[in-house]
Amino acid sequence: MVDNMEWFNVFGLIFIAVIMIPNVVFAIKCKDGFDNKWNNKYVEVTEQVGRLGCFGFMIINIPGTWFGWWSDETFAVYLIVDTILVMLYCAIWIICFKKNSIFRALALSIIPSMLFLFSGIMSRSVLLIIASVLFAPSHIVISYKNVK
């Protein structure tokens, strides 16, 4: 199974699609969208570049920058841990949907950051690791500053 993902990671696509579901529901239910109270253009641009990179490199494997899983066992750990992180993310969205708290802000920013970084490390994707290192701190600080 591990050898069949030369350039396209169907599991990465599924993980991204599932974590987008609560975000789409939020966008539909909250027509006014997200009110960004903390304006730092550098951090916002870094977050967006990292986000797009994470989404893209979770799904697309660029030859020469993606080296695949060490073993079938590593691939199994990747699937199990990513599934748990995605389920946890969705559960927190459901439980905390109407609550604006530091816990919600941090949980919903730290979990996807962990998902992207862990996926990059386990799949040995240099570009996903770089994108997640850009995304994680900027996404977490923006989420925290907007709830504080």
Residue ranges of domains in the chain: 2-147
Model-level pTM? 0.92
Q: How many residues does the chain have?
A: 148
pLDDT confidence tier of residue 2, bands split at 50, 70 and 90:
low
Residue type, 1: M
Among all chains, which residue has been given the structure tokens 């989420």?
Answer: 143
In percent, the amount of the chain with pLDDT more than 70 equals: 94
Among all chains, which residue has been given the structure tokens 């841990």?
Answer: 81
Mean pLDDT (the chain, rounded): 92
pLDDT in tens, 113-125: 999 999 999 999 9
pLDDT in tens, 28-77: 887 776 677 778 999 999 999 999 999 999 999 999 999 999 999 999 99
C-beta pairs of 69-78 under 8 Å, 24+ apart in sequence: 69/2, 69/122, 69/123, 69/124, 70/124, 71/2, 72/1, 72/2, 74/122, 75/1, 75/2, 75/122, 77/122, 78/11, 78/118, 78/119, 78/122, 78/123
* pLDDT exceeds cutoff 90 at 93: yes
Instruction: Record the tokens describing residue 104, joined without a space.
Output: 């919600």
> Sign (positive/negative) of CA torsion 61, 70, 20, 135?
negative
